[in-house]
Amino acid sequence: MPPTKLDHCVIHVADWERSNKFYAEVLGAELVPRPAGWAYRFGDKQLNVHGPGVKPAEVARLPVQPGNSDLCFEWDGPIADAIAHLRAHDVTIERGPMQRFGAKGPGTSVYFRDPDGSLMEFMSYRP
């Protein structure tokens, strides 16, 4: 079998303006306009976004709902900088910093929520 890699995931938001601002300013997403709604791109990975006006394909047994996602983003720097970044954007840290295990092995994480209540995580692999 040839190697595979993650292309995209799907999240659902309740308010485009509020979510677009959060994902662009707090998470650094490139906002990609779609025929209905938006996608959030992070380098070569993408979050396809279901929200007001989007009719998702009837494939998922249980479509993702606003506030029902759990996503981790790698923070390319010390976790203290991630904490300062979240505080500068008035984002409440729910837990952390704490040791976790991610795609690259052990790291340090902080947890917070997007505007719909989905769980977000910044993970740093730096000591």
**Is 114 a member of any domain?**
yes
pLDDT digits (tens, 9 = 90+) for 10-64: 999 999 999 999 999 999 999 999 988 999 999 999 999 999 988 877 777 778 8
Evaluate whether residue 60 is within a structural domain.
Answer: no
Alpha-carbon gap, residue 110 to 55, rounded angstroms: 33
Is 90 exceeded by the pLDDT of residue 88?
yes
Whether 57 is in a domain gets the answer: no
Domain extent for 95: 8-52+69-124
CA-CA distance, 94 to 110, in Å (whole number)?
Answer: 8
For position 13, which CATH number holds?
A: 3.10.180.10
pLDDT of residue 60: 73
Q: How many domains does the chain have?
A: 1
pTM over 0.75, yes/no: yes
> Is 3 a domain residue?
no
Whether 62 is covered by a domain: the verdict is no
Beta-carbon contacts of 51 under 8 Å, excluding residues fewer than 6 positions away, are 12, 13, 14, 15, 16, 19, 37, 38, 66
Q: What percent of the chain has pLDDT over 90?
A: 79
- The answer to whether residue 2 is domain-embedded is no
